[in-house]
A = this chain, B = another copy of it.
Amino acid sequence: MTEVLRLLTRAQKLLRAAADEAMSRHGVRVGQNLVLEVLWETDGLTPGELAARLQVTTPTVVNTATRMEAAGLLVRRRDPADGRLVRLHLTPKARAAEQPIAEARRLLAEHATATLTDEERRHLHSALQKIIERMTESTPPTGPGDDAD
Protein backbone atom coordinates (compact mmCIF):
# COMPACT_ATOMS: atom_id res chain seq x y z
CA MET A 1 0.00 0.00 0.00
CA THR A 2 2.73 2.49 0.91
CA GLU A 3 4.67 1.10 -2.02
CA VAL A 4 2.93 3.42 -4.46
CA LEU A 5 4.16 6.44 -2.50
CA ARG A 6 7.71 5.20 -2.75
CA LEU A 7 7.44 4.65 -6.48
CA LEU A 8 5.97 8.09 -6.94
CA THR A 9 8.82 9.68 -5.01
CA ARG A 10 11.40 7.70 -6.94
CA ALA A 11 9.92 8.49 -10.33
CA GLN A 12 9.66 12.16 -9.54
CA LYS A 13 13.24 12.27 -8.34
CA LEU A 14 14.54 10.61 -11.49
CA LEU A 15 12.53 12.94 -13.69
CA ARG A 16 13.61 16.03 -11.80
CA ALA A 17 17.26 15.03 -12.05
CA ALA A 18 16.95 14.39 -15.77
CA ALA A 19 15.13 17.70 -16.24
CA ASP A 20 17.79 19.58 -14.30
CA GLU A 21 20.51 18.07 -16.41
CA ALA A 22 18.68 18.89 -19.64
CA MET A 23 17.88 22.46 -18.58
CA SER A 24 21.40 23.07 -17.30
CA ARG A 25 22.63 22.43 -20.80
CA HIS A 26 20.76 25.62 -21.72
CA GLY A 27 22.01 27.63 -18.75
CA VAL A 28 18.83 27.23 -16.70
CA ARG A 29 18.21 25.19 -13.56
CA VAL A 30 15.09 23.13 -13.08
CA GLY A 31 13.40 25.51 -10.65
CA GLN A 32 14.10 28.53 -12.82
CA ASN A 33 12.50 26.77 -15.74
CA LEU A 34 9.15 26.88 -13.97
CA VAL A 35 9.41 30.65 -13.54
CA LEU A 36 10.33 31.03 -17.18
CA GLU A 37 7.36 28.99 -18.33
CA VAL A 38 4.96 31.41 -16.67
CA LEU A 39 6.79 34.61 -17.65
CA TRP A 40 7.10 33.54 -21.28
CA GLU A 41 3.32 33.57 -21.30
CA THR A 42 2.76 36.59 -19.05
CA ASP A 43 5.70 38.93 -18.53
CA GLY A 44 5.83 41.48 -15.72
CA LEU A 45 4.15 39.48 -12.94
CA THR A 46 4.96 40.20 -9.29
CA PRO A 47 6.69 37.60 -7.09
CA GLY A 48 3.43 37.04 -5.25
CA GLU A 49 1.43 36.45 -8.43
CA LEU A 50 4.10 34.11 -9.73
CA ALA A 51 4.17 32.19 -6.47
CA ALA A 52 0.40 31.70 -6.62
CA ARG A 53 0.58 30.34 -10.18
CA LEU A 54 3.45 28.02 -9.36
CA GLN A 55 1.86 26.93 -6.09
CA VAL A 56 4.99 27.83 -4.21
CA THR A 57 5.66 30.37 -1.44
CA THR A 58 6.72 33.94 -2.16
CA PRO A 59 10.19 33.59 -0.60
CA THR A 60 10.88 30.69 -2.96
CA VAL A 61 10.10 32.89 -5.96
CA VAL A 62 12.07 35.81 -4.52
CA ASN A 63 15.17 33.68 -4.09
CA THR A 64 14.86 32.06 -7.50
CA ALA A 65 14.33 35.49 -9.06
CA THR A 66 17.51 36.75 -7.39
CA ARG A 67 19.51 33.90 -8.90
CA MET A 68 17.91 34.47 -12.28
CA GLU A 69 18.66 38.18 -12.09
CA ALA A 70 22.31 37.35 -11.36
CA ALA A 71 22.25 34.98 -14.35
CA GLY A 72 20.91 37.77 -16.57
CA LEU A 73 17.57 36.09 -17.21
CA LEU A 74 15.30 38.75 -15.73
CA VAL A 75 15.22 42.24 -14.21
CA ARG A 76 13.25 43.64 -11.27
CA ARG A 77 11.27 46.83 -11.84
CA ARG A 78 9.40 48.71 -9.15
CA ASP A 79 5.73 49.26 -10.03
CA PRO A 80 5.28 53.05 -10.62
CA ALA A 81 1.69 53.01 -9.37
CA ASP A 82 2.23 50.92 -6.22
CA GLY A 83 5.62 51.14 -4.55
CA ARG A 84 5.17 47.87 -2.71
CA LEU A 85 5.07 45.83 -5.89
CA VAL A 86 8.01 44.48 -7.85
CA ARG A 87 7.52 43.38 -11.46
CA LEU A 88 9.68 40.68 -13.00
CA HIS A 89 10.58 41.18 -16.66
CA LEU A 90 12.42 38.69 -18.85
CA THR A 91 15.56 39.70 -20.71
CA PRO A 92 16.20 38.89 -24.39
CA LYS A 93 18.49 36.12 -23.15
CA ALA A 94 15.55 34.46 -21.41
CA ARG A 95 13.36 34.84 -24.49
CA ALA A 96 16.04 33.30 -26.69
CA ALA A 97 16.03 30.23 -24.48
CA GLU A 98 12.31 29.62 -24.86
CA GLN A 99 12.29 27.34 -27.90
CA PRO A 100 15.19 25.06 -26.96
CA ILE A 101 14.02 24.66 -23.39
CA ALA A 102 10.43 23.94 -24.34
CA GLU A 103 11.74 21.39 -26.80
CA ALA A 104 13.98 19.79 -24.18
CA ARG A 105 11.04 19.49 -21.84
CA ARG A 106 8.89 17.90 -24.55
CA LEU A 107 11.63 15.41 -25.41
CA LEU A 108 12.05 14.44 -21.78
CA ALA A 109 8.34 13.84 -21.29
CA GLU A 110 8.23 11.78 -24.46
CA HIS A 111 11.22 9.74 -23.44
CA ALA A 112 9.99 9.08 -19.92
CA THR A 113 6.62 7.78 -21.06
CA ALA A 114 7.85 6.08 -24.22
CA THR A 115 7.19 2.59 -22.91
CA LEU A 116 3.60 3.39 -21.95
CA THR A 117 0.63 2.87 -24.21
CA ASP A 118 -1.82 5.73 -24.72
CA GLU A 119 -4.25 3.96 -22.44
CA GLU A 120 -1.64 3.59 -19.72
CA ARG A 121 -0.85 7.28 -20.03
CA ARG A 122 -4.51 8.16 -19.60
CA HIS A 123 -4.78 5.87 -16.57
CA LEU A 124 -1.68 7.44 -15.03
CA HIS A 125 -2.99 10.92 -15.70
CA SER A 126 -6.36 10.29 -14.08
CA ALA A 127 -4.90 8.42 -11.10
CA LEU A 128 -2.53 11.30 -10.36
CA GLN A 129 -5.36 13.79 -10.68
CA LYS A 130 -7.44 11.82 -8.22
CA ILE A 131 -4.60 11.77 -5.71
CA ILE A 132 -4.04 15.52 -6.11
CA GLU A 133 -7.73 16.21 -5.69
CA ARG A 134 -7.86 13.99 -2.63
CA MET A 135 -4.85 15.68 -1.02
CA THR A 136 -6.01 19.22 -1.69
CA GLU A 137 -9.63 18.78 -0.72
CA SER A 138 -9.47 16.73 2.44
CA THR A 139 -7.17 16.78 5.43
CA PRO A 140 -5.12 13.64 5.94
CA PRO A 141 -5.85 11.54 9.02
CA THR A 142 -4.15 12.40 12.26
CA GLY A 143 -3.72 8.87 13.53
CA PRO A 144 -4.22 7.71 17.10
CA GLY A 145 -0.78 8.25 18.59
CA ASP A 146 -0.05 11.97 18.54
CA ASP A 147 2.96 12.15 20.79
CA ALA A 148 4.99 15.13 19.70
CA ASP A 149 7.73 14.21 22.20
Within 8 A of B (CB), among A10-29: 10-16, 18-19, 21-22, 24-27
When all copies of this chain in the complex are counted, the total is: 2
- Chain B residues contacting A103 (CB-CB under 8 Å) are 143-145
The contact of A11 among B105, B115, B131, by CB within 8 Å, is B131
Number of A interface residues, CB 8 Å?
67
Question: A19-61, CB under 8 A of B: which get 1 and which 0?
Answer: 1011011110000000000000000000000000001000000
A48 to chain B, nearest CB (A): 19
The complex places the Cα of A115 from the Cα of B125 at a distance, in Å, of 14
Binding site for B on A (CB under 8 A): 1-5, 7-16, 18-19, 21-22, 24-27, 55, 99-100, 103-116, 120-121, 123-136, 138, 140-149
Evaluate contact between A146 and B8: CB separation under 8 angstroms.
Answer: no
The complex places the Cα of A111 from the Cα of B2 at a distance, in Å, of 11
Evaluate contact between A116 and B130: CB separation under 8 angstroms.
Answer: yes
Evaluate contact between A127 and B130: CB separation under 8 angstroms.
Answer: no
Evaluate contact between B125 and A124: CB separation under 8 angstroms.
Answer: no
Q: A14-B136, A134-B114 in contact; A22/B129 too (CB < 8 A)?
A: no
Evaluate contact between A141 and B111: CB separation under 8 angstroms.
Answer: yes
The contact of A5 among B25, B112, B132, by CB within 8 Å, is B112
- Chain B residues contacting A8 (CB-CB under 8 Å) are 8, 11-12, 15, 128
